[in-house]
Amino acid sequence: MVLDDLGTSLRGTLDKLRGKSRISEDDIEEIVKEIQRSLLSADVDVSLVMELSDSIEERALEEEPPAGTPARDFVLRIVYEELVDLIGESTDLPLEEQTILLAGLQGSGKTTSAAKMAWWFSTKGLRPAVVQTDTFRPGAYDQAKEMCERAEVDFYGNPDADDPVEIARNGLEETSEADVHIVDTAGRHALEDDLIDEIEQIEDAVEPDKSLLVLDAAIGQGAKDQAQQFDESIGIDGVVITKLDGTAKGGGALTAVDQTESSIAFLGTGEEVQDIERFEPDGFISRLLGMGDLGQLAERVERAMQQTDVEEEEWDPEDMLTGQFTLNDMQKQMEAMNNMGPLDQVMDMIPGFGGGIKDQLPDDAMDVTQERMRAYSVIMDSMTETEKEYPKAIGASQIERIARGSGTSEDQVRELLEQYKMMERTIKQFQGMGSDKEMQRMMQQMQQQGGGGGGGGMGGMGPF
């Protein structure tokens, strides 16, 4: 994910304090210099870097850490609070009727973001509609229409019209039954006068409740001027940062947020319609520093379970805690995991498993793990229902047949069966919890093993 390098660098810097109970001025000076280097490398504006690092240094020197608090945890809390303060609150987007205007340069991801945002509003019980006004870019209408079909939301555009202002007016009328209107405008390769004039005319026609600037995470220092000009033209209420699944540095987008005195509304985290997150500063910075994001994790889990249940309604994940755990349960669990998105993003949200642990894994570790999960799914598809219900009865001849039928090796089939046994043992531990207090105690033990500073490990989870 974007800013991963920044997060890794910040965590590495803070780890230099591990084991210390007190910090000296020299320690703080070294930490602040490292933080400055990290932020500048991530394309954060110099003036912002100096402002942030000065605040961190001042607080670290003047504030007294609570009794018994390790030096690393004390400085980590200060860095966390200052970064959250720098980014500010999430853009206010009430779940009610509203019109949202999207602006940005060509290639920033406006059209994709429009459909993603519409999908997000639909999951909150509202009826959204996307109005496509881009008459400049070839294929803009087709892309928007196809994305909205995938998002299963209302769409209006007119590929035969050449007046974007007229399209905008007609679009609002044709989709009048929608609760939320998202108006997508044309971009250019640069901030040309005709682009600004066009957006201003569309703004006058649709009278948006919010105007959001869409920025590619890779924009770098150019974000500052772009944000200023759009803000002067139509006023920017919030920013949508796209392509956060790439390797871009991302600091330029954060600079733009500060430059327009606005806030972040959404984060685009992938290519699929569902790859969008409502921005929450606490969770975002928490993930960056390797502390997890339980709020976003809970939302993904809920969505994943809903999508899995739609495919086969008779499967209830809670049955695993009361009855026999089968390979059918394991397969459904894997489908739910896939529905949660890329494994590295999910790991970032789990306290103790993102950040420090991920930094220690090989670069291709997540890809290898997801590839293994896909292989397991193919193997299970080659099994009979009886074999999936009673995997302990699978013998050598069946392993040979399953491997041949799935195009995998016998070792891979055996590996799957070993993984199943490991998961079955874990499930039985949960089944043995006799009271809520025992369950809470177990969860606390897991949290102590995995959280609070990047410790813990993935050994208990087996190959996953």
442 touches 433 (CB < 8 A): yes
CA separation for the pair 17, 156 (Å, rounded): 56
Altogether, the residues listed in the chain come to a count of 464
Long-range Cβ pairs for the range 277-280 (8 Å, 24+): 278/90, 278/93, 278/120, 279/90, 279/91, 279/241, 280/90
Long-range Cβ pairs for the range 48-56 (8 Å, 24+): 48/86, 48/254, 48/255, 48/258, 52/82, 52/83, 52/86, 55/82, 56/31, 56/32, 56/82
Residue stretches of the annotated binding site = 104-111, 184-188, 242-245
CA separation for the pair 102, 209 (Å, rounded): 11
Residue stretches of the annotated binding site for GTP = 104-111, 184-188, 242-245
